[in-house]
Amino acid sequence: MTPDAGLRQRLGGLLREIEPPPAPLETIVRRGRGIRLRRAGGAAGALALAGIVAAATVLASPAAPGEPGLPVTVPASGTAGPDGVFASGSVNGHAWRLGVQNIADPGYRCIPAITVNGTDADPVDPAPGNYATVALGPAYPGIGFAFVQVRGDVGRLVLDGRQGLPATAVTACGEHYRLVGFAYRLARPPQITAVSAGPGGRAGYQLPLVSAKPPAGTGQTDGMWNNVGPTSGETASGVLASGRTGSIRLLLDAAGDCYEFSSAASAGSPEMGACGPISTPDGPETIMALPLSYPPAKITGPTGYALQVSPATAHLSALLSDGSTQLVTPRVVDGRKYAAFAVPASLKLECLTWLDATGAEIASTFDVPQTGYTQFQP
Amino acid sequence: MSDSRDELAAVPDVISGGGEDFSAFAVSRWPGLVRLAFGLTGDRWAAEDLAQATLARAYVAWRRVSRAHDPDAYLRRILVNTSNRRFRRHRVAEQPGDPPETAVDGHADLVGERASLLAALRQLPARQRAVVLLRYWEDLTDAQIAAALGCSPGTVRSQLSRALAKLRESPVLGEGDER
């Protein structure tokens, strides 16, 4: 018997003796739902490594053939104004702007974030090298937006070896950032090379960047930023709702507004998790549904709902399919106001109504998700 | 700005996505995953937990898994990655596992041999252990193992060579190989 055959036979003997129990499908599905939906830093790491190689390739071959890049306007002074806008332009007749703004509600601790047109925020990572892209779907079909936070010794980025974009200094929430932003065609992400600051900027300074594609293995979801840079900790977290049905917890960070829903039966272990775009105080609100039901496995359960609400919202009224209503009082988590509640398995959410402190209706929508999220501008 | 998380797509997409049947997929792959996981962990409970975690991740990424050219390759990669992450986290606490209970039944020599094999496997670094199992249990090629581990085929060959050298130091395996 050859060594290979001997080992194969013994391993076979060992492992075939295992008689697994029936697949615990329900547990698997519940665990799957408990996994927080965040984007791939691991993939990003591989991407970064690949980027070093790719950057060298870009340097070796001058301008890549193809369509010209989309035009970008940057502040001539090299410093963003009070509005925090560091890049702007127009694609297909639609204006766009990338800026840094405070996404906390008025009167609370400042939370700086990059926004596109004042919505769909991404908290700024303090670490230079941060790099993120986002697509806004039907609003800008085929177009992606990207920002790069560059180090102090980087003067500009060059896209595809020919479009130079100088870094703009931005001050927000008392912090200073140097940012480059641009729009690009999703079908043809640009190659990015960093060029050092100073006269005659030395080309070839390598940033660990390769393209504005989403990290490998992740899909680009409308309004959700795909961050490639190193991660910072959570910006905020807290329990939004708890009761007999279970509890809903918020985690706000670069992955978005992420919610975890734990039913009363799960002993605090999240059974469903999902992330959605981060709303700005004045922007569209992301209504997230967290269903515990899974029909293929004949699993039924309640559906959790969570959303960040505008500062003026005092209560949220949820109309259910049996005609009953739930009046939800928002909770403030680290300067942002959120509302969350659960709908029993036997019922459906039909309508949401935003109420101010006097009980007057601010807005109302019947466009509520049963799974995933929708965005609504109250 | 995010951690390793992932290979993962959105759960809501999974629930609404496609006509693929995750349940059937999970049920059919479960026994094989548990056995491979047992080889990696040497512990029956940990193996079932690892197989569960692997399928849970496959569930979250179901839309991508179901469309993959080779869903099993995808699954193996998730399993090995998950196992490696746990190994890094718990390596201090690792203890040799027990052979399967069903192996007892009066076959003392057989049980002893299997315990020795488990112990020998446990002495290998995680990646070498994975290479051995993927080669000799899953019968994968260098390229397939490389895909599962996220390394080059050359690395697979060198890791396998080192692993076999270490396994042959095991009295039982060394003796067996010469038979």
pLDDT attached to residue A51: 33
- Asked if the ipTM is above 0.90, the reply is no
Collapsed DSSP state (helix, strand, coil) of residue A108: coil
pLDDT attached to residue B18: 34
Q: What is the pLDDT of residues A104-143, one digit of tens each?
A: 999 998 999 999 999 999 988 777 777 888 988 888 888 9
Q: Give the residue among A48, A111, B124 at the shortest CA–CA distance from B135.
A: B124
Say whether A29 and B7 touch across the interface (CB within 8 A). Answer: no
Quick check: B60 pLDDT over 60?
A: yes
Helices (H) and strands (E) counted in chain A, each on its own, are: 3, 26
Who has greater pLDDT, A42 or B135?
B135
Say whether B60 and A42 touch across the interface (CB within 8 A). Answer: no
Percent of chain A scoring above 70 in pLDDT: 81
Residue A196's alpha-carbon distances to A126, A131, B134, in angstroms, are 20, 17, 47
Q: What is the pLDDT of residues A253-283, one digit of tens each?
A: 877 898 988 887 776 667 788 888 999 998 8
Chain A window 127-146: which residues touch B at a Cβ cutoff of 8 Å? Answer: 130, 132
Residue B68 — pLDDT band, cuts 50, 70, 90? confident
Collapsed DSSP state (helix, strand, coil) of residue A166: strand
Say whether B16 and A372 touch across the interface (CB within 8 A). Answer: yes
Sign of CA pseudo-dihedral A208, A211, A217, A222: positive
Out of A6, A232, A254, name the one closest to residue B179 (CB). Answer: A6
Q: Is A67 near chain B, with CB under 8 Å? A: no
Quick check: A207 pLDDT over 60?
A: no
Q: Which of A5-9, A42-46, A297-301, A328-332 has the highest mean pLDDT?
A: A328-332
List CB contacts (< 8 A) between A45 and chain B.
4
Q: Is A214 near chain B, with CB under 8 Å? A: no
List CB contacts (< 8 A) between A227 and chain B.
1-2
Collapsed DSSP state (helix, strand, coil) of residue A361: strand
Q: Best of A18, A38, A122 to disrupt the B interface by mutation (most B CBs within 10 Å)?
A: A18
| A340: Cβ contacts below 8 Å, ≥ 6 apart | A240, A241, A248, A250, A259, A304, A305, A306, A307, A328, A331
The per-residue DSSP string of A25-65 comes to HHHHHHHHHHS-----HHHHHHHHHHHHHHHHHHHHS-SPS
Say whether A32 and B57 touch across the interface (CB within 8 A). Answer: yes
Q: What is the pLDDT of residues A288-322, one digit of tens each?
A: 999 888 776 667 889 999 999 999 999 999 999 99
Say whether A373 and B2 touch across the interface (CB within 8 A). Answer: no
pLDDT attached to residue B3: 32
Kindly report the pTM of this predicted structure. Answer: 0.66
